[in-house]
Amino acid sequence: MQASLAAVGLISSIAAWLAGASFLGVVGGVLLGSVIPFTLIVILPTNKALLSPRWTSSQHRRVSAFKQKMHRNVGMPNRWA
């Protein structure tokens, strides 16, 4: 869904620019469209690997521990304030 919405935004910004809108709209559309390759190259294989039924319990434990560590570190700056 992310890639399809980014494509719609990119095409809409180009259409708006052709209709007379500012060039900054196209710049924003290109930035919005730049998430498409990232989604297809990085996110899609990661999701396929995570949903693969071939995962072992040790892999699940490692990912779970990593996620817990990351969530703990995200809250850290709030404690410092």
Q: What is the pLDDT of residues 57-79, one digit of tens each?
A: 777 778 778 777 777 766 655 55
What digits encode the pLDDT tens for the residues 25-57? 999 999 999 988 888 888 888 788 777 777 777
Alpha carbon distance, N-terminus to C-terminus of the chain: 37
Say what angle helices 23-33 and 2-18 make with each other, to 10 degrees: 160
User: How far is it, in rounded angstroms, from Cα 36 to Cα 48?
Assistant: 17
Contact of 10 with 19, CB cutoff 8 Å: no
Tell which wins on pLDDT, 4 or 79: 4
DSSP state of 20: T
pTM of the model: 0.55
Q: How far is CA 28 from the centre of its chain?
A: 17
Structure-token pair, residue 10 = 């990119």
